[in-house]
Homo-oligomer: A and B are copies of this chain.
């Protein structure tokens, strides 16, 4: 299979649209069986996928990708088994489609049902990780949708191989293989075509870094489910318990620094800072965290650098932290209002009233009192697999599971009612 031919993106999107109708009519049982079948087929074709992955890795090494980047790209027999297991878990999730959310009859006898239905065609635009190819396909099919996949060029061979195997699996099922479209082009133009294909694509979901997400949000006329940029803050209040504050800070900063729910800025009440500075400095040193801060911080923490605008506004995704000293909770909220990305924001305090003010006034998908921001995650919250973490306010907010891939439809049944 050649990967260099120019794909006809519009043709593929139209095919997906047609196939979406077929998928939408299947029963939950049919869809689950098919997901199990895809899982098994992936497991029995590991070598095919690993061979393709090797090509991507070789190209990556030639191009001098970082170790972290290579780590996200690399597959193994175990990783592929995890993909398969992920599909089986999606099969076990409740199917949201077909649910009748409301059902009432008007005085004139017209029956109204609000029914949950698939969105139609999901356009997934993502970066390196090949697991998105499997996860997104599983979630899309389970919720009765078709999917158009546009992965990053660095993983193109791996993604193509995974889709080849998914297509192979679908050959013997009720889901036409056209329901899973892979844009096998490294041309930027291919991605941009997806941005405006409103007739054929119902929603675009970008997953990756801030620049990818912004490019989609700013240029797409297709509705977008914005995911993932998390410039998350922890506010340590005057009344914060020291050991809770420090352990939550360390967890949120160091557990997995590269993920979107990691903490990027500490705002600290000046009174707390005065008393507990040394304990904080100890923890910072112990965990090899590099500090950028305001004047107070720079003066009191040796090695701390003066924070620039981008230290407040951007994610580090590394063992760096920005620290700002504030006068009160209002100051912390103002800072979050200005720099937060509406992902996850935490307050550490033993004062319930202050906590409530923070939880009410901070505008974010998830607000925490005395807990780590790391819990903003479909798995951790018990939702099962997620297609991304929404940082927007419309449609879905926070970790997005299967219901985020559905819409509703009003079904009216009458016997001649007119107005």
| A25 at interface by CB-CB < 8 Å | yes
Asked if A244 and B416 sit within 8 Å, CB to CB, the answer is yes
Bound together, the chains give a CA A410 to CA B261 distance in angstroms of 14
Q: A370-B414, A371-B412 are in contact. Are A218 and B221 (CB under 8 A)?
A: yes
| A241 at interface by CB-CB < 8 Å | yes
Q: For the complex, count residues of A whose C-beta is within 8 A of B.
A: 64
Q: List the B side residues contacting A241 at CB < 8 Å.
A: 416
| A408 at interface by CB-CB < 8 Å | yes
Bound together, the chains give a CA A361 to CA B18 distance in angstroms of 11
| A238 at interface by CB-CB < 8 Å | no
| A230 at interface by CB-CB < 8 Å | no
B120, B366, B409, B414: the one contacting A369 at CB < 8 Å is: B414
| A48 at interface by CB-CB < 8 Å | no
Asked if A247 and B367 sit within 8 Å, CB to CB, the answer is no
Q: Which of A90-125 touch B at CB < 8 Å?
A: 104, 106, 110, 112, 119-120
Q: List the B side residues contacting A382 at CB < 8 Å.
A: 104, 106
| A179 at interface by CB-CB < 8 Å | no
Which residue of chain B is the closest to A25 with respect to CB atoms? Answer: B360
Bound together, the chains give a CA A202 to CA B247 distance in angstroms of 34
| A84 at interface by CB-CB < 8 Å | no
Contact indicator per residue, chain A 380-401, by CB within 8 Å of chain B (1) or not (0): 1110000000001111011000
Asked if A369 and B225 sit within 8 Å, CB to CB, the answer is no
| A418 at interface by CB-CB < 8 Å | yes
15 chain-A/chain-B pairs, Cβ below 8 angstroms: A119-B393, A217-B221, A223-B392, A223-B394, A247-B416, A250-B418, A364-B409, A366-B411, A367-B409, A367-B410, A368-B412, A371-B413, A371-B414, A375-B417, A380-B419
